[in-house]
C-alpha cells in the first residue's frame, strides 16, 4: 500500500502549476463573490493535503479494488437520483452532513476503473466483446449522470472514456470506422434536436441550443452567455483589475448569476483581461501536459492510462467551460478545473493529480 520513494522522482513542477492556478482562482472568486473566498481557500488546503497523501499510496495496489471502485461510483450516482438534493431544477448533490457532488468524484473513479480494466484486457482491447462490455459499463454511469440532469459532465466523461480506450490500444481501423459512422450520425442528431417535438434532451436544454444559435430570439435564455461575452470583451488586454468597483462592470451589475462557479472565466476576462485569460489557459495546458509526460514513463499500462485520463479530463473540461463562456458552445454548466468555486470539484481534481504524482514516483528506469 505504501512504498519507499525517492524525493528526486517527485514532480514538484506539477504541484506548482496546480497551486498557482488554484491561488489565482481564489483571487478571482473573491472578486466575483467574497463570501466564497475563505471556503475555497480552506478547500485548497484540504485538496493539497489530500493530494500529497494520495501521491504516497501505491496506485497499483489501489487498482486491485477496481470493481469496488466502479460499484461505489455507480452507487453514489444512484443515490443522487434517489435521495439527492435538488437545486435550480437539477438533482446533483448528496447531503451527508456536508453537501457534495458525486459526479465530480466519479470521474476520477472511472479513470481508475478503466485504467485497470483496459490493462486486464490489453491483448483483446479491439475484440467486439471487450468493446461492448466497456461501452456497457460506461453507459450505465453516463445514463445516471444524464438523468440528474448533467449534460456537460456526461459529455466530458464520455470524451475521457474515448481517450482511455484509444490509449489502451484500440485498433485504428475501428477508430476510423467509428468516426465514419459518428460524423453523419451527429448531423442527424443535430437535425432531430432542432425539431420542436424531439425527446432526446430536456426542453430547457433545447432552448439553450436555440439561444446559442439565435440569441436575439431567445433573450431570456441567452442573457447569461451574452453578458459573459461582453464581460470578457470589456476587459480588453489588461482588464479592469481585481475587486474593481466600476458601475459599468458586468460583474458588479449582477448580470451573470453566480459568477464564482461556471462563469468564473468571464470574471477573469473582465478583471484580468486577455493576458489573465491566457495565463489561466496556459496553466491548465501545462497541468495536462505534465500529466502526459509522466504517463509516458509509467511502468505499466494502467499508470499511463491514469495520467492520460487526468490530462484528458483537465483538457476537455477546460475546453467546454471556456467555450461556453466565450459563446463557442451552447450554455451548459461545468466548472473550470482548479479555478471555479466548488470544493468537491477542487478536491476531486487534487485526488486525481495525487494519483498522477504516484505514477511519477514509479516510472520506468532507463
How far is the CA of 14 from the CAs of 111, 126, 151, 305, 340, in angstroms?
19, 33, 30, 17, 19
Q: How far apart are CA 302 and CA 322, in angstroms?
A: 30
pLDDT (tens, 9 = 90+) of the chain, 366 residues, equals 666 778 777 899 999 999 999 999 999 999 888 889 999 999 999 999 999 999 999 999 999 999 999 999 999 999 999 988 887 777 888 888 888 899 999 999 999 999 999 999 998 998 999 999 999 999 999 999 988 888 889 999 999 999 999 999 888 888 887 778 777 777 776 676 666 666 666 666 777 777 777 877 777 777 788 888 888 988 889 888 887 777 666 666 667 777 888 899 999 999 999 999 999 999 999 999 999 999 999 999 999 999 999 999 999 999 999 999 998 888 888 999 999 999 999 999 999 999 999 999 987 654
Q: What is the 3-state secondary structure (H, E, C) of 195-258?
A: CCCCCCCCHHHHHHHHHHHCCCCCHHHHHHHHHHHHHHHHCCCCCCCCCCCCCCCCCCCCCCCC
Structure-derived torsion over alpha carbons of residues 239, 282, 321, 95, reported in degrees to the nearest 10: -100
DSSP state, 6? Answer: -
* 3-state SS, residue 2: strand
Angle at 289 between CA 236 and CA 159, to 5 degrees: 90
Cell numbers standing for residue 242? 481585481
Q: How far apart are CA 224 and CA 220, in angstroms?
A: 8
Q: How far apart are CA 271 and CA 33, in angstroms?
A: 13
The side-by-side arrangement of strands in the sheet containing 99-100 is 85-87, 90-95, 99-100
Say if CB 55 and CB 354 are below 8 A apart: yes
Q: Which of 73, 72, 101, 103 is nearest to 86 (CA)?
A: 101
Angle at 336 between CA 335 and CA 342, to 5 degrees: 50
Cell numbers standing for residue 332? 451548459
The whole-number pLDDT of residue 366 equals 46
Cα within 13 Å of Cα(355), Cβ side: 27
Q: How far apart are CA 165 and CA 305, in angstroms?
A: 9
The whole-number pLDDT of residue 172 equals 82
* 3-state SS, residue 299: coil
Q: How far apart are CA 203 and CA 201, in angstroms?
A: 7
Q: How far apart are CA 330 and CA 336, in angstroms?
A: 16
The whole-number pLDDT of residue 284 equals 97
Q: Which of 327, 334, 311 is nearest to 145 (CA)?
A: 334
* 3-state SS, residue 86: strand
The whole-number pLDDT of residue 18 equals 97
Model-wide pTM > 0.95: no
Say if CB 52 and CB 353 are below 8 A apart: no
Angle at 342 between CA 356 and CA 10, to 5 degrees: 20
Q: How many CB atoms lie within 10 A of CB 61?
A: 11
Amino acid at each position: 500500500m505504501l512504498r519507499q520513494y525517492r524525493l528526486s522522482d517527485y514532480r514538484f513542477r506539477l504541484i506548482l502549476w496546480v497551486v498557482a492556478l488554484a491561488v489565482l482562482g481564489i483571487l478571482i472568486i473573491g472578486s466575483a463573490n467574497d463570501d466564497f473566498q475563505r471556503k475555497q481557500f480552506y478547500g485548497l488546503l484540504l485538496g493539497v493535503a489530500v493530494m500529497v497523501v494520495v501521491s504516497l499510496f501505491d496506485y497499483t495496489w489501489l487498482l486491485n479494488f477496481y470493481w469496488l471502485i466502479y460499484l461505489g461510483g455507480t452507487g453514489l450516482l444512484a443515490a443522487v437520483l434517489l435521495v439527492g438534493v435538488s437545486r435550480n431544477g437539477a438533482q446533483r448533490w448528496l447531503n451527508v452532513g456536508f453537501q457534495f457532488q458525486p459526479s465530480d468524484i466519479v470521474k476520477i473513479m472511472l479513470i481508475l476503473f478503466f485504467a485497470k480494466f483496459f490493462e486486464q484486457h490489453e491483448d483483446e482491447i479491439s475484440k467486439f466483446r471487450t468493446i461492448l462490455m466497456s461501452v456497457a459499463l460506461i453507459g450505465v454511469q453516463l445514463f445516471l449522470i444524464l438523468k440528474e440532469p448533467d449534460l456537460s459532465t456526461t459529455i466530458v466523461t464520455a470524451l475521457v472514456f474515448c481517450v482511455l480506450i484509444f490509449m489502451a490500444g484500440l485498433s485504428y481501423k475501428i477508430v476510423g470506422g467509428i468516426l465514419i459512422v459518428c460524423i453523419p450520425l451527429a448531423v442527424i442528431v443535430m437535425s432531430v434536436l432542432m425539431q420542436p417535438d424531439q425527446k432526446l434532451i430536456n426542453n430547457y436544454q433545447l432552448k439553450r441550443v436555440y439561444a446559442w444559435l439565435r440569441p436575439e430570439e431567445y433573450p431570456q435564455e441567452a442573457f447569461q452567455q451574452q453578458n459573459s461575452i461582453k464581460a470578457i470583451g470589456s476587459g480588453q488586454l489588461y482588464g479592469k483589475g481585481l475587486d474593481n468597483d466600476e458601475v459599468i462592470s458586468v460583474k458588479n451589475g449582477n448580470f451573470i448569476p453566480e459568477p464564482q462557479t461556471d462563469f468564473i472565466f468571464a470574471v477573469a476576462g473582465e478583471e484580468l483581461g486577455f493576458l489573465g485569460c491566457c495565463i489561466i489557459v496556459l496553466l491548465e495546458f501545462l497541468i495536462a501536459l505534465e500529466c502526459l509526460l509522466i504517463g509516458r514513463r509509467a511502468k505499466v499500462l494502467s499508470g499511463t492510462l491514469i495520467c492520460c485520463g487526468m490530462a484528458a479530463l483537465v483538457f476537455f473540461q477546460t475546453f467546454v467551460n471556456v467555450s461556453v463562456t466565450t459563446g463557442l458552445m451552447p450554455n451548459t454548466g461545468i466548472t473550470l478545473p482548479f479555478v471555479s468555486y466548488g470544493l468537491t470539484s477542487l478536491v476531486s481534481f487534487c485526488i486525481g493529480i495525487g494519483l498522477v504524482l504516484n505514477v511519477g514516483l514509479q516510472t520506468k528506469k532507463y
